[in-house]
Structure 1
Amino acid sequence: MTFHPNMESHVEGVSPVDGLRWRAWSGMLADVWDVECRAGAHGQYVSPAPRLFVMLETESDAAIDLMVHPQAPQRMTFDRRNPMCFIPAGLPVWSFMGTLGRLRHLDIHLDVPALASRFGSRFDLAALNAASFSFHDERVLALARLIALECCEPGDLDALYADSLAAALLTALGKVSREPEHPASGLAPRRLNRVLDHIARNCSRNLPLAELAAVAGLSTSHFAQAFKVSMGMPPHRWQMAQRIERVKALLEEGHVSVTDAALAAGFADQSHLTRAFRRFEGTTPGAWLRKRLG
């Protein structure tokens, strides 16, 4: 990992309950904290990287007050109803918490150079300077929960899935412009065959979107759109579908366990496979095999 947010913080009255859970991929670093907050807990934070803060869970309806200066008369309050804020790079903020109890929160730190390289003109650098305190967006919250879930789950994070989550989150936040309403044309047959062959030969490892785009000789954003037009699904979903098919073939052969099939197809472990298999097939690998065998 080359990107680190290097956030400076000074907190009082806040104690971690569990260890830090985090994930990093191209353009983002996300971390999940479970903390206990005493009455009157407070903190000061500043980071050279813009970040999204999301309150995931609290034990009560208590709120957190944010200020851009410790003596500022105006405070921005966020709670369960408005559980998130976007903080630009270099903006110091002060927080004050009443009787809060236990809190789980997610921080997503943005690697601006990496994201600018990936999204090109679609990446709105000016929008990164606009602070948004105390807001609610169901799309952002749903994506934040998916990212938090990946932080807390063991095993490797699928690179293409991570890239898709990042793109969806930035689009929902308004930091990346949406793809054109009129879809791009699909990949030329020769390019498509190169990409599909590359996925097939490397099915058992994570393939970043940038790697597949390089195989196709296109920018990542152009490639992602063109691949979806050609195949009817995003690259990460296609690769995951191929992994699932690999597992099904191995299980039908009858010579390997579910765990061994999972590892052979590039899953971190059996539970990682089970989650993905259920998303695609609506059941577990074992139940699928029993039904298949009659």
Structure 2
Amino acid sequence: METSAIHVSEVLSQTSARLWRKGTAACGLAFAEWEWRDAEGWANYDQPDHHTLSVYLDGGDKIVRADRQLLGGGPDKFCLMPAGHASRWHVGGPIRMFHLYIDPAVLAYQAHAAFDITPRRIDLQDLTFVDDPALAMIVRGAVLPLDWSDLADRMALESACHLLLHRLLRHHTNRATTEVIKGRLAPAVQRNIIEYIEANLSSALKLEELACRAKLSTFHFAKMFRASVGLPPHAYVAKRRVDRAKSLLHDGKLELAQIALACGYASQSHFTRAFKGEAGMTPGAWRRVQEVRLRGLGD
């Protein structure tokens, strides 16, 4: 799902809105961060073939949904625009917003997998300027801090986007939903997944890829993996990458840039940030500490 072929994204690209960054998380999911500065303007959406979740990050108090005569946007407010809807928006002041574009088939699949609901019985609500602190927290805490272009963050992005889908299905559809829980991974499946992760830490591991190997939906795989291992898949992979990096740093044969690539990081700078977040110091500092300890043991 490319943002260049998405109706809402196409409309915004023809206005004064500026596209700060964009990305994809999995088949049928794409996202973008937009900013509309001081220029006034209109954005009219006419029966898009995708759902759009729009979360306001800054501003928004001067945006009006003209077709419903609604005013009341602001930071952390969100709008939900289902596929097939029509809306007219007037922007009268600065606004920065996050968009998640959702293929209806993906939402239908998640509805069936997570809640055992027949897809045709699920309809997203058409919502404007709504408060949902938990949803906004996912965007600000789990999506925006990630590097959307770095393959090492791909699984974390997929996980965050699936959390957003789960939130929409649980709280913003036309019917109440009850989550279906399936327990833990079978020992043989867990062993297979762990071995696959270990063998592919240098690659861009995807949540869908792991779920497919376990013959589960991404939703149930993530739930069952966490129940089995104690960490979400993306957090487990991130920890194992840092553990692998520590081993290579201790070995002392590779440069930092080589270790970054060997552990699945797209750049040395991303490796440094991830390592410091887990270990509390940069890779170079960690290596020096280990060297000092080894010298102390040898004295």
**TM-score scaled to structure 1, two decimals?**
0.82
Contact 2:272 2:282 in 1 (8 A): yes
Counterpart in 1 of 2:104?
Answer: 112
Match for 2:50: what amino acid? A
Counterpart in 1 of 2:297?
Answer: none
Whole-Å Cα distance in 1 between the matches of residues 187 and 266 of structure 2? 33
Whole-Å Cα distance in 2 between the matches of residues 196 and 121 of structure 1? 23
Runs of 5+ consecutive residues of structure 1 not aligned to the other structure: none
CA deviation after TM superposition for structure 1 residue 56, in Å: 1.4
CA deviation after TM superposition for structure 1 residue 165, in Å: 0.4
CA distances 1:155-199 after superposition (whole Å, capped 9, x unpaired) = 22533212210121122234585645xx64322222221111111
Closer, same or farther: CA 90–144 of 1 in aligned 2, 3 Å: same
Whole-Å Cα distance in 2 between the matches of residues 274 and 128 of structure 1? 44
Q: Choose which of 157, 164, 178 in structure 2 pairs with 1:169.
A: 164
Whole-Å Cα distance in 1 between the matches of residues 186 and 10 of structure 2? 50
Contact 1:78 1:84 in 2 (8 A): no
Bigger mean CA deviation after superposition, 246-255 or 169-178: 169-178
Closer, same or farther: CA 22–228 of 1 in aligned 2, 3 Å: same
- 1:66-85 to 2 correspondences below 5 Å: 66-67=65-66, 69=67, 74-80=68-74, 83-85=77-79
Closer, same or farther: CA 56–249 of 1 in aligned 2, 3 Å: same
Whole-Å Cα distance in 2 between the matches of residues 9 and 204 of structure 1? 35
Counterpart in 1 of 2:24?
Answer: 24
Match for 1:201: what amino acid? A
Whole-Å Cα distance in 2 between the matches of residues 10 and 271 of structure 1? 35
Whole-Å Cα distance in 1 between the matches of residues 91 and 75 of structure 2? 16
Structure 1 residue 57 and structure 2 residue 28: aligned?
A: no
Whole-Å Cα distance in 2 between the matches of residues 10 and 216 of structure 1? 40
Whole-Å Cα distance in 2 between the matches of residues 264 and 38 of structure 1? 46
Counterpart in 2 of 1:245?
Answer: 243
Counterpart in 2 of 1:185?
Answer: 183
Match for 1:94: what amino acid? R
CA deviation after TM superposition for structure 1 residue 245, in Å: 1.0
Whole-Å Cα distance in 2 between the matches of residues 265 and 81 of structure 1? 37
Whole-Å Cα distance in 1 between the matches of residues 105 and 128 of structure 2? 24
Counterpart in 1 of 2:6?
Answer: 5
Counterpart in 1 of 2:288?
Answer: 290
Contact 2:76 2:133 in 1 (8 A): no
Closer, same or farther: CA 8–247 of 1 in aligned 2, 3 Å: closer
Closer, same or farther: CA 81–249 of 1 in aligned 2, 3 Å: closer
Match for 1:65: what amino acid? V
Match for 2:164: what amino acid? L
Identical residues among aligned pairs (%):
28
Runs of 5+ consecutive residues of structure 2 not aligned to the other structure: 172-176, 293-299
Whole-Å Cα distance in 2 between the matches of residues 9 and 221 of structure 1? 30
Whole-Å Cα distance in 1 between the matches of residues 123 and 86 of structure 2? 15
Secondary structure of 1:266's counterpart equals coil
Whole-Å Cα distance in 2 between the matches of residues 141 and 23 of structure 1? 19
**TM-score scaled to structure 2, two decimals?**
0.81
Contact 2:159 2:234 in 1 (8 A): yes
CA deviation after TM superposition for structure 1 residue 31, in Å: 0.8
Instruction: Point out which structure has higher relative CO (alpha carbons under 8 A, 6+ apart).
Output: 1
Bigger mean CA deviation after superposition, 226-235 or 272-281: 272-281
How many pairs were matched up? 280
CA deviation after TM superposition for structure 1 residue 105, in Å: 1.6
CA distances 1:127-157 after superposition (whole Å, capped 9, x unpaired) = 543111111222211222242343x654225
Whole-Å Cα distance in 2 between the matches of residues 167 and 200 of structure 1? 24
Contact 1:274 1:284 in 2 (8 A): yes
CA distances 1:209-261 after superposition (whole Å, capped 9, x unpaired) = 23222322334333322222221112221112111111111111112222221
For the aligned residues, what is the CA RMSD?
2.9
Whole-Å Cα distance in 2 between the matches of residues 11 and 239 of structure 1? 36
Whole-Å Cα distance in 2 between the matches of residues 238 and 257 of structure 1? 25
Counterpart in 2 of 1:217?
Answer: 215
